[in-house]
């Protein structure tokens, strides 16, 4: 009896010294759910047929990422994989085969809280032509510069693909991946999802314009002006 009371007292003392466990667990579950919702949103927009594409969200010193080889309908918060930025995974599933560029982007670009990778039809069509999206429309500046670059092809999941993507993302928040798809990054998942939609819309408009003729490009000084206006607008939001 005394032993039991001592054990109870020790447990209470240990609990008192620790943060309440419910709160972090709830916060954790919310970020898992948000990641599943973002992955499904990409799928629902037709950006990720079947099991293509993946999404990550910064969490503490590491990040959360969608699992590999799972249908979006079947994916739940418990299937999300926690990873450190050096690539150690924790979870009942294996991480997306593209975890490397998610980790490398989140490590190199502290301003990003979320990274989305998708194979939307129009952005992917341009990527298969190896074409960047030039300043044919002022909204190209939404990705952070006067164009949206296309990273050279490398095998999915490889270090080379990650290197190429990081280079194409220099001073940008989105890029195309040759013969593959696109990456969109943001401060959070909503931000990244909005940009992914914008890049796909621009890719569609650019392809339509190319089909009808030769699009007229905006001069560099006009794009610089739009970029400044976007920065002011972002700061006032
Ligand atoms: Zn892919």
Give the tens place of pLDDT for each residue, 50-70.
Answer: 778 899 999 999 999 999 988
User: Among the options 8, 22, 98, 197, which is catalytic?
Assistant: 98
pLDDT of amino acid 23? 45
- pLDDT confidence bin for 13, thresholds 50/70/90: very low
CB 173 within 8 Å of CB 198: no
Considering the segment(s) 2-236 as one domain, its CATH architecture is 3-Layer(aba) Sandwich (3.40)
Give the tens place of pLDDT for each residue, 171-214.
Answer: 999 999 999 999 999 999 999 999 999 999 999 999 999 999 99
Active-site residue, 200 included: no
pLDDT of amino acid 26? 56
pLDDT of amino acid 90? 87
Q: In this predicted structure, which of 12-16, 69-73, 124-128 has the lowest mean pLDDT?
A: 12-16
In this structure, which residues have their CB less than 5 angstroms from ion ligand 1?
Answer: 181
Cα–ligand 1 centroid distance for 236 (angstroms): 35
Structure tokens at 98: 């593209």
Cα–ligand 1 centroid distance for 230 (angstroms): 29
Nearest C-alpha neighbor of 47 from the set 187, 166, 199: 199
Residues shown for the chain: 237
Question: Which pairs count as long-range contacts for 223-228, CB under 8 Å and 24+ apart, including other chains?
Answer: 223/135, 223/138, 223/140, 223/141, 223/145, 223/146, 224/146, 226/138, 226/141, 227/141, 227/144, 227/145, 227/146
Cα–ligand 1 centroid distance for 61 (angstroms): 25
For 158, half-sphere exposure in the C-beta direction (CA atoms, 13 angstrom radius) is: 10
Cα–ligand 1 centroid distance for 155 (angstroms): 10
- pLDDT confidence bin for 73, thresholds 50/70/90: confident
Cα–ligand 1 centroid distance for 27 (angstroms): 29
pLDDT of amino acid 139? 97
CB 86 within 8 Å of CB 103: yes
Structure tokens at 200: 């796909």
């Amino acid at each position: 009896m005394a032993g039991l009371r001592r054990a109870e007292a020790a447990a209470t003392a240990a609990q008192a010294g620790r943060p309440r466990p419910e709160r972090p667990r709830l916060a954790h579950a919310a970020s898992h759910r948000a990641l599943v919702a973002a992955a499904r949103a990409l799928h629902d927009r037709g950006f990720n047929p079947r099991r293509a594409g993946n999404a990550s969200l910064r969490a503490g010193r590491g990040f959360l990422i969608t699992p590999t080889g799972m249908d979006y309908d079947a994916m739940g918060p418990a299937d999300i994989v926690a990873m450190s930025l050096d690539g150690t995974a924790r979870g009942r599933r294996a991480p997306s085969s593209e975890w490397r560029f998610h980790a490398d982007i989140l490590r190199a670009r502290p301003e990003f809280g979320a990274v989305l990778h998708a194979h939307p039809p129009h952005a992917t069509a341009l990527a298969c032509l190896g074409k960047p999206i030039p300043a044919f429309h002022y909204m190209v500046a939404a990705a952070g510069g006067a164009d949206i670059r296309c990273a050279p092809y490398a095998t999915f999941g490889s270090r080379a693909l990650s290197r190429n993507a990081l280079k194409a993302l220099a001073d940008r928040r989105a890029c195309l991946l040759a013969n593959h798809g696109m990456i969109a990054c943001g401060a959070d998942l909503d931000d990244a999802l909005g940009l992914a939609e914008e890049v796909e819309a621009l890719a569609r408009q650019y392809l339509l314009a190319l089909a009808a003729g030769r699009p007229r490009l905006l001069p560099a000084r006009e794009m610089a002006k739009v970029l400044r206006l976007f920065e002011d607008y972002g700061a006032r939001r």
